[in-house]
Structure 1
Amino acid sequence: MRRIIVIPSRLGSTRLKEKPLQLIKGKPLIRWVVEGCLKTGEEVILATDSERIAEVVQDLSLRVVFTPSDLPSGSDRVAHAIKDIEVDYVINYQGDEPFVYKEDIERLFSALEDVPVATLAIHDPDAYRDPSSVKVVLDNDQRALYFSRSPIPYMKGNSSIYPLKHVGIYAFRKEVLMDFVSWKPSTLEKLESLEQLRLLERGVRIKVLLSSNYYHGVDTEEDLKLVEQKLTFYL
């Protein structure tokens, strides 16, 4: 059973210029992500459209696959990187997520023995009303019922579980990923600007694993500052 972590990373970014190359504690963001994934002991591929991104990790033990700049999403970049590789399970590890935990990687891969897609979520009340933070609600088997930028579920009372912030790290069976990127964007996906809704609208089950680890992606200058502070304790 071959499994691979693929890190999609493109140089262009709408909110933070050349985001993968932004320095955090003197190290480019993409290098934090790559080094973290390599520490898990898994096979790692960097899927990028930029020689400059590749250069900052060229001394590390991973394969670099160059992908077209016009691919519409990170999932498409991951699929392009593995399309000719014999692999069973693949994790799409976002190139702007510098926190990597071996135990969560193992749980994601293990979940694929029972479900076609798996992802992560954390309990985070601060994310509830933030449209840039994606929320998720679950059924009794911890499968996603829905993802939204809106505050879901409606919190009439207190909950020890909700609200749940979705962590955009996905594990796929290869054949499911290849089907996913071949489908046209769905109605809810376009309304919410959330590609995982394409899977739900097609009836694909997504297992959501709850993690107590700290995750925070980088999209803004404020994120850079916060992540730099948190990485001091993560090291």
Structure 2
Amino acid sequence: MKQVIVIPSRLSSTRLREKPLQLIKGKPLIRWVVEGCVKTGKEVVLATDSERIAKVVQDLPIRIVFTPSELPSGSDRVAYAIKDIEADYVINYQGDEPFVYKDDVESLLSALDEYPVATLAIHDPDSYTSPSCVKVVLDENQRALYFSRSPIPYMKGNSSIYPLKHVGIYAFRREVLMDFVNWKPSTLERLESLEQLRLLEKGVDIKVLLSSNYYHGVDTEEDLKLVEEKITFYL
């Protein structure tokens, strides 16, 4: 099976200006992501609408595909980027996730032998009440039952598993990704502003792998400061 990691990254962002170019330890955020993905040994594609983003990673052994700025989501950018690329399994590695672990990438790709879509989650009690952190609940086979910005499940007692914070990294079988971006946004997706709910509403299984690695995406200035502190231990 041909495997590829696609990193969608656009210059415009709502909460943090020119987010991909923000510096962490003197290095642009997008370069942290791309370098980490390259180290996994997989083929890496950057899907971007910006020459400025491309310029900061153009010396790395990757393919750069320029995508239209008007595409509505990262998944749409990934699908656009692989139109002319041979790939059976595709990882959508968000351009604001600076932590990359080869073991998790391999596990996601292996999960596609059995499931159409796979993603990651981590045990994170601090995320439970924050609407900016997406939570997920699972069935007994670790398939996603639901994702929400609300605190789920209701925690009447302590749990060794929950709450689970969703990590926005997805592995798709190619044909599922292409179907996904052609479906109209679903009811729950629009209400929660979470595109993965489109898959669940269509009855697509999403395998959720539990990781013990540290993840923290960058959306705000506070995230930048936290990641800069934590990334020293990641190096």
Q: TM-score range by the shorter chain?
A: over 0.9
Shift of residue 167, structure 1, vs aligned partner:
0.2
Give the corresponding residue for 1:192.
192
- Alignment partner of 1:199: what SS? helix
Between the aligned residues of both structures, percent identity stands at 85
Q: 1:6-58 CA distances to partner (integer Å, 9 max, x unpaired)?
A: 00000000000000000000000000000000000000000000000000001
Shift of residue 83, structure 1, vs aligned partner:
1.4
Q: In structure 1, how many angstroms separate the alpha carbons of the residues matched to 2:234 and 2:86?
A: 34
Give the corresponding residue for 1:89.
89
Q: In structure 2, how many angstroms separate the alpha carbons of the residues matched to 1:165 and 1:212?
A: 12
- Alignment partner of 2:156: what SS? coil
Give the corresponding residue for 2:153.
153
> Is 1:162 equivalent to 2:162 in the alignment?
yes
Map 1:24-173; keep pairs closer than 5 Å: 24-173=24-173
> Is 1:7 equivalent to 2:7 in the alignment?
yes
Q: In structure 2, how many angstroms separate the alpha carbons of the residues matched to 1:79 and 1:220?
A: 27
- Point out 4+ residue stretches in structure 1 off by more than 6 angstroms: none
Q: What TM-score results when the alignment is normalised by the length of structure 1?
A: 1.00
For this pair of structures, how many residues does the alignment match? Answer: 235
Q: In structure 1, how many angstroms separate the alpha carbons of the residues matched to 2:12 and 2:151?
A: 29
Q: In structure 2, how many angstroms separate the alpha carbons of the residues matched to 1:198 and 1:151?
A: 20
Q: In structure 2, how many angstroms separate the alpha carbons of the residues matched to 1:115 and 1:234?
A: 30
- Alignment partner of 1:197: what SS? helix
Which amino acid counterpart does residue 67 of structure 1 have in structure 2?
A: T
Shift of residue 71, structure 1, vs aligned partner:
0.2
**RMSD of the alignment, in Å?**
0.3
Which amino acid counterpart does residue 70 of structure 1 have in structure 2?
A: E
